[in-house]
């Protein structure tokens, strides 16, 4: 929509408030609202002021005046507010004289915009498509606390096996067995209607949905697959995806989490990310004579991803909890190789004969990643691989067309693995980030703030005792 169309859209829908949403550096939507009368055509140019010092990863208090600049193409009516509310996704800018504002270097959405512009200026391609598969858990209850003398977390799902002997209300059985949530029908799958409600609401708000289903995790793990799109548009859609799933669940007195590993002993939640490059309307990743029908450009793109994976994981798996999912020896995408149709490899090549569907799937990311930073970083790594002609086979990254989870110990030692902790990934990013700085897509200040924020979280986790330590060491 244009600015004029947004104002007309708001009028037709009786909007009384305007909600201005933007993303902080870790990747969480923030918002504030203004009266509908305050929204004018000039607002989309001049912006609306806010305090940047109160947002994670943004400004210090002595230079905190910032602006949100609404993007008219993101206009929707918020489906969860009782008061009719127009919702707009915004970018961040520095205030200044009337006219074009200076974009903010640490605004994740701006970084994603620069990545798309960098792709176009590279001459390699003019369009990149990203398709994330974000998994999440739907729980019936969650309780947690961590204070000086109290540390616990308790989750519950009526579907889970641990409720098979639940007393109180009548117990009707049909609980999910561990790691067997893919794809039993009702009555085992109790979440079909909730997922459908989420999917249909996404469709209503302009986000095409390809499928929805129960995932492997027995305690309510779910997935809704949205259609691929360009970097910024897909990141916008994924932020809306999280907003929709969390709030629809709340309508049903349930709760959604995108934590990578909320349940011990069952599957974690990942966000496998499909990627492809196009130029002049033609796909660049297909070659009928190549391995898995991959073009040379596609192989170089994969080479860039795999050689930079340790650094990318700081952005793709940015929490300490991420590395409770990425554990060698379990069904996690920790093996740094590429392979056709092989879900035990870090890079899977989906099997398809359709040139337009030829893509690569990077499997280590999880949905705690900031999607704007993630898609931008993956694109920059892939383009670096193409420029440097990094053939993954020449660097020991496969292809390996075997079940990597059942290799002998000697064979396993020959295959490199992802970092084992957030600290390792952050250190890798500090040592390998020049590819992100190309064309000022990422800036040093944005990366430094990101690392500082995530390292502080890692330090906080490291300092806190956890319940399992009492079980292991209390009687030492």
Average pLDDT estimate for 284-297 = 96
Q: What is the pLDDT of residue 59?
A: 83
> Percent of the chain at pLDDT above 70?
97
Q: Does the pLDDT value for residue 193 go beyond 80? A: yes
The DSSP code for 335 is: B
User: Which tens digit of pLDDT belongs to each residue from 399-422?
Assistant: 998 888 788 888 888 889 999 999
Asked if 258 and 370 count as a contact pair (C-beta separation under 8 A), the reply is no
Domains of the chain, CATH where assigned: 3-104 (3.10.20.70), 122-473 (3.30.590.10)
Distance (Å, whole) CA 132 – CA 259 = 16
Residues taking part in catalysis: 51, 133, 135, 215, 223, 272, 343, 361, 363
Q: Could you tell me whether strands 255-257 and 127-139 are parallel, antiparallel, or unpaired per DSSP bridges?
A: antiparallel
User: Which tens digit of pLDDT belongs to each residue from 325-337?
Assistant: 999 867 789 999 9
Q: What is the pLDDT of residue 449?
A: 96
What is the DSSP track for 107-152?
Answer: -HHHHHHHHHHHHHHHSS-SEEEEEEEEEEEEESEEEEEE-SS-EE
Q: What is the pLDDT of residue 279?
A: 98
User: Which tens digit of pLDDT belongs to each residue from 367-400?
Assistant: 999 999 999 999 999 999 999 999 999 999 989 9
- Residue 427, Cβ density class (10 Å: 0-12 exposed, 13-18 middle, ≥19 buried): middle
E strand or H helix at 43: helix 43-46
pLDDT interval class at 315 (50, 70, 90): very high
Average pLDDT, the chain: 94
Average pLDDT estimate for 133-141 = 96
Three-class SS state of 251: helix
Asked if 428 and 454 count as a contact pair (C-beta separation under 8 A), the reply is no
């Amino acid at each position: 929509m244009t600015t004029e169309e947004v104002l007309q859209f708001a009028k037709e829908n009786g909007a009384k408030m305007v909600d201005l949403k933007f993303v902080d550096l870790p990747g969480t939507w923030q918002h504030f609202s203004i009266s509908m009368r305050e929204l004018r055509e000039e607002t989309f140019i001049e912006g609306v002021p806010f305090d940047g010092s109160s947002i994670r990863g943004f400004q210090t208090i002595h230079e905190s005046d910032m602006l949100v600049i609404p993007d008219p193409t993101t206009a929707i009516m918020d489906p969860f507010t009782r008061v009719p509310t127009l919702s707009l996704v915004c970018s961040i800018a520095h205030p200044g004289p009337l006219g074009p504002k200076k974009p903010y270097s640490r605004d994740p959405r701006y970084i994603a915009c620069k990545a798309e512009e960098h792709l176009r200026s590279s001459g390699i391609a003019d369009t990149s498509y990203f398709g994330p598969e974000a998994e999440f858990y739907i729980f019936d209850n969650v309780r947690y606390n961590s204070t000086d003398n109290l540390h616990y977390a308790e989750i519950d799902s009526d579907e889970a096996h641990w409720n098979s002997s639940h007393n109180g209300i009548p117990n009707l059985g049909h609980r999910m067995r561990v790691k067997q949530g893919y794809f039993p029908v009702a009555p085992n799958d109790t979440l079909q209607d909730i997922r459908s409600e989420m999917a249909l609401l996404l469709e209503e708000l302009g986000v095409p949905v390809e499928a929805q289903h129960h995932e492997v995790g027995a305690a309510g793990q779910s997935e809704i697959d949205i259609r691929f799109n360009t970097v910024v548009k897909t990141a916008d859609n994924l932020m809306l995806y999280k907003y929709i799933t969390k709030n629809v669940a709340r309508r049903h007195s349930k709760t959604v989490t995108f934590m990578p590993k909320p349940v011990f002993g069952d599957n974690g939640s990942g966000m496998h990310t499909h990627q492809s490059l196009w130029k002049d309307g033609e796909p660049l990743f297909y070659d009928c004579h190549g391995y898995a029908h991959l073009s040379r450009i596609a192989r170089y793109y994969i080479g860039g991803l795999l050689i930079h994976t340790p650094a990318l994981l700081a952005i793709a798996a940015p929490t300490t909890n991420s590395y409770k999912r990425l554990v060698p020896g379990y069904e996690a995408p920790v093996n740094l190789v590429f392979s056709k149709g092989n879900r035990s490899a870090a890079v899977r090549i989906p099997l398809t004969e359709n040139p337009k569907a030829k893509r690569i799937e990077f499997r280590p990311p999880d949905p705690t990643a900031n999607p704007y930073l993630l898609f931008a970083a993956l694109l920059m790594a892939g383009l670096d691989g193409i420029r440097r002609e990094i053939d993954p086979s020449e660097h020991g990254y496969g292809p390996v067309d075997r079940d990597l989870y059942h290799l002998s110990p000697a064979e396993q030692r020959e295959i490199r693995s992802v970092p084992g902790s957030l600290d390792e990934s952050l250190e890798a990013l500090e040592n390998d980030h020049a590819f992100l700085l190309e064309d000022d897509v990422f800036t040093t200040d944005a990366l430094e703030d990101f690392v500082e924020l995530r390292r502080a979280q890692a330090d906080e986790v490291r300092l806190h005792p956890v319940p399992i330590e009492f079980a292991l060491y209390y009687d030492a």
